[in-house]
């Protein structure tokens, strides 16, 4: 079963992700960046879904940077989902596998992206 780490602080979106992906994926959810960084190493997910704008010490850009610089987590594909159109190029340069705009995708699109990433890994 694909291990999916979701780093998202929006509780409604978090619940939607859990309902959509709960049956087909082994899911862990981090509600802030610091927890996301720790869980990327301890849970060792196959894929990370990452929000950019989060409160607290680490935002999504910080999480992406930390995941990509850690030898244990650097190869984990990260799909960034954001409302910030100006961050697309930046996150791709930082090593994100894909960057999706929240306004342009639904949960089915996200699932297709996860499946595509997993197909490339195998």
pLDDT in tens, the chain (122 residues): 999 999 999 989 889 999 999 999 999 999 999 999 999 999 999 999 999 988 889 999 999 999 999 999 999 999 999 988 888 999 999 999 999 998 888 999 999 999 999 998 77
Q: Are 120 and 46 in contact (CB under 8 A)?
A: no
Domain extents in the chain: 2-121
Residue 41, phi then psi, degrees to nearest 5: -80, -45
Q: Taking the CA atoms of the chain, what radius of gyration do you get in angstroms?
A: 13
Q: Which CATH class is domain 2-121?
A: alpha beta
Q: What is the largest CA-CA distance in the chain?
A: 35
| Cα–Cα dist 76/39, whole Å | 12
């Amino acid at each position: 079963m694909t291990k999916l780490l979701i780093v998202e602080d929006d509780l409604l979106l978090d619940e939607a992700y859990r309902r959509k992906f709960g049956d087909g994926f082994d899911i862990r959810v981090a509600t802030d960046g610091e927890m996301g960084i720790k869980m990327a190493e301890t849970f060792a997910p196959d894929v990370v879904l990452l929000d950019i704008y989060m409160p607290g010490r680490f935002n999504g850009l910080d999480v992406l940077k930390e995941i990509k610089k850690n030898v244990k987590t650097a190869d984990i594909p990260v799909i960034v989902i954001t409302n910030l159109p100006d961050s697309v190029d930046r996150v791709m340069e930082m090593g994100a596998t894909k960057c999706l705009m929240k306004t342009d995708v639904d949960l089915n699109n996200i699932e297709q992206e996860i499946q595509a990433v997993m197909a490339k890994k195998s």
